[in-house]
Amino acid sequence: RSIFLLIMEARHFMQSSWNCIQYWICGLMTLSAIQLLAAMFPLPPIFSTGQVIWLSMVIVPLLSLSFVAAKTDPQVMQRATSKHQTKLNVEVAVFVLWCYGSKFLLTTVLVPFAFALTLSHHCPRSESGGWPLLASPHPTEQWGGWGRYPLALVWSQHAAALLLVVQLVTISASFVHREYLSWLRAPFKNFVWLITAGLVLVLQAAYAAVALWWADAVWSEQPWQDLLL
């Protein structure tokens, strides 16, 4: 029986570790895809260099590592082991896009849209009374003239970062118990994940508050490029 329990713990640990790695990779790919969308459209960078480092080195790893603390599920011994997939084919591609792409696709589209919408409210009204979503009135200036409004850009970036973190926390709930539907086994049974999710939201809010306070205090005394760090 001791060998059985040891094998069960080992299989559970490997399953939890694999969930951790999958979420970690998907989170970083989502962050990269959002930045890529901003580069494809006439938008300033959605996230600054400091925000990218913060999200990829603190937020995503914390959420990912919390999956390892899930309680051991005895049902893991009744599941067949997955086969080793060494080749990429259409079936594997469809499976990955369906199981992972569908979870992160909405976030990848929603964050750039919300960022553009936030920036549009800092633009002067046109004669028709509307706000342009993609503002580039000065193509010869940095980021279409947004370099002249550093605080508006910084506020929009931190709003987008906070939205991304909320989305990542929401998505992470489906990774806690991958083998069960959410209404059959709630993610709140993993207390480490629950505490980590709350901590991540508090840390992101504190990071944004400190960064915005610092930017508002010194933006007039330093080059605006420094504020984007």
Q: Can you give the residue ranges of every domain in the chain? A: 1-74+88-220
pTM of the model: 0.79
What is the chain's mean pLDDT, rounded?
78
Q: Give pLDDT < 50 ranges for the chain.
A: 126-136, 224-229
Which burial class, exposed, middle or buried, applies to 29 when counting CB atoms under 10 A from its CB (0-12, 13-18, 19+)? Answer: middle
Q: What is the pLDDT of residue 155?
A: 86
pLDDT digits (tens, 9 = 90+) for 157-205: 999 999 999 999 999 988 887 776 666 677 788 889 999 999 999 999 9
* Residue-level pLDDT at 16: 82
- Within 8 A by CB and 6+ apart from 209, the residues are none
